[in-house]
Amino acid sequence: ISIPNIPSSDGAIYVNGDSMYPILKSGDIITYKRIDIDPQKIFFGEMYVLAIKIDENTTLKTIKFIQKSDLGTNYIKLVSHNQHHIFKDVCLDEITAIGLVRASIRLHN
């Protein structure tokens, strides 16, 4: 299958949860382009998929808007579209991977 006008991407994952509802719904597919974990590479205000280290054995994958944090340049603020979810400041050292969301696909069964 070929999908017209989808920008180049490094991968795709299914969306789980409702933190980005109604922009993204659980079951949607997003494509992403990996970037370096570097504040100079982040386009603040855009949507990203992130892998965040919780502990030695656990990584959380999440999709959020990224904004500048009030805690300094070594932190970013993760913001949901769904206002029932509270923002969270995360240290860049806790992020193991980050990708700019390039497209979303919604399946209608």
pLDDT tens profile 71-97? 999 999 999 999 999 999 999 999 999
pLDDT tens profile 13-64? 999 999 999 999 999 999 999 999 999 999 999 999 999 999 999 999 999 9
Distance CA 24, CA 31 (A): 12
Both tokens of 3, joined, read 């999908």
Distance CA 54, CA 47 (A): 21
pLDDT value, residue 2? 72
Instruction: Name residue 49's beta-bridge partners.
Output: 63, 99
Q: Yes or no: say if 34 and 95 are a contact pair by the CB < 8 Å rule.
A: no
pLDDT value, residue 109? 74
DSSP E strand boundaries for the chain: 11-14, 29-34, 47-55, 58-68, 75-79, 88-91, 95-105
Residue 48, classified by CB atoms within 10 Å of its CB into exposed (0-12), middle (13-18) or buried (19+), is buried
Distance CA 53, CA 62 (A): 11
pLDDT value, residue 1? 65
Identify the band that residue 4 occupies on the pLDDT scale cut at 50, 70 and 90.
Answer: confident
